[in-house]
């Protein structure tokens, strides 16, 4: 589908030409195509976010090709419960505002919390981060399970931390923390999903 896109002052696509889906809405694969085309035209980035209770790691993958860079934010204090989440919300908004000029986002992928044992605090933190990024950046912010981004990036859905780190180094990452390696791979996988137009992790050979 050929699209002509105009962006607002935040870099978010506001108007476009193209065919809506059956119910008259630009949703699903149409929305995906709009975001992908805007990213291509305006050299935007795909952000990959790894969330922890006390810090965030973000990677920025230029679309459709280009290097991936990383950054981290420490949000640690003596606050607990709601106070900590409020601090996380404020700091995420401030940080995102500082980063978006140098890495204009097309879409943000946030890792969906998972693990053998429930971690409510991490689920709360991920929700706060998604909401803060969505409102601050005014672009689509989607969650992605760890098994999906690992499968797309490394080819192994249950890849260990060591395997993810080794894969990132082979693909140009420098000396990073483990969370930054995860963010690097999330951004890589998110870019492939945007390029291929597939949401199920089965990217085409051309996209891979």
Q: Quick check: is 87 in a domain?
A: yes
Residue corresponding to tokens 């996209």: 207
Alpha-carbon distance 107 to 89, whole Å?
Answer: 19
The closest alpha carbon to 75, from 58, 93, 59, 92, belongs to: 92
CB-based contacts of 195: which residues, under 8 Å, 6+ apart? 36, 63, 64, 203, 207
Q: Quick check: is 28 in a domain?
A: no
Q: Quick check: is 13 in a domain?
A: no
Q: Tens digits of per-residue pLDDT, 158-195?
A: 999 999 999 999 999 999 999 999 999 999 999 988 88
Q: Quick check: is 36 in a domain?
A: no
Q: Quick check: is 177 in a domain?
A: yes
What's the CATH number where 107 sits?
A: 3.30.420.10
At residue 140, what are phi and psi to the nearest 5 degrees?
Answer: -60, 135
* Dihedral sign from CA coordinates of 111, 115, 119, 120: positive
Q: Tens digits of per-residue pLDDT, 104-141?
A: 998 999 999 987 778 899 999 999 999 999 999 998 89
Residue corresponding to tokens 């879409």: 107
pTM: 0.77
pLDDT score of 25 more than 60: no
Q: Quick check: is 34 in a domain?
A: no
3-state DSSP assignment of residue 198: coil
When divided into structural domains, the chain yields a total of: 1
pLDDT score of 17 more than 70: no
Q: Residue 111: enclosing H or E segment and its boundaries?
A: strand 105-112
- Tokens for 130, please give them: 């998604």
Q: Quick check: is 10 in a domain?
A: no
**Domain encompassing residue 126:** 45-196
CB-based contacts of 62: which residues, under 8 Å, 6+ apart? 43, 44, 45, 68
Q: Quick check: is 22 in a domain?
A: no
């Amino acid at each position: 589908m050929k699209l002509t896109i105009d962006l607002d002052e935040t870099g978010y696509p506001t108007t476009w030409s193209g065919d809506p889906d059956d119910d008259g809405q630009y949703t699903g694969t149409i929305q995906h195509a709009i975001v992908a085309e805007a990213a291509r035209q305006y050299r935007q980035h795909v952000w990959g976010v790894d969330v922890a209770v006390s810090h965030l790691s973000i990677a920025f993958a230029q679309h459709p090709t280009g290097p991936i860079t990383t950054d981290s934010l420490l949000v640690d204090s003596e606050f607990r419960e709601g106070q900590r989440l409020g601090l996380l919300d404020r700091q995420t908004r401030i940080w995102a505002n500082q980063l978006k000029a140098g890495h204009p986002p097309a879409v943000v992928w946030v890792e969906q919390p998972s693990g053998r044992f429930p971690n409510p605090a991490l689920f709360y933190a991920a929700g706060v981060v998604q909401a803060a990024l969505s409102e601050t950046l005014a672009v689509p912010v989607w969650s992605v399970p760890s098994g999906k981004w690992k499968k797309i990036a490394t080819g192994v859905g249950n890849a260990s931390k060591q395997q993810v780190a080794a894969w990132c180094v082979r693909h140009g990452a420098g000396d990073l923390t483990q969370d930054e390696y995860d963010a690097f791979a999330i951004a890589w996988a998110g870019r492939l999903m945007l390029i291929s137009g597939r949401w199920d992790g089965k990217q085409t050979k051309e996209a891979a």
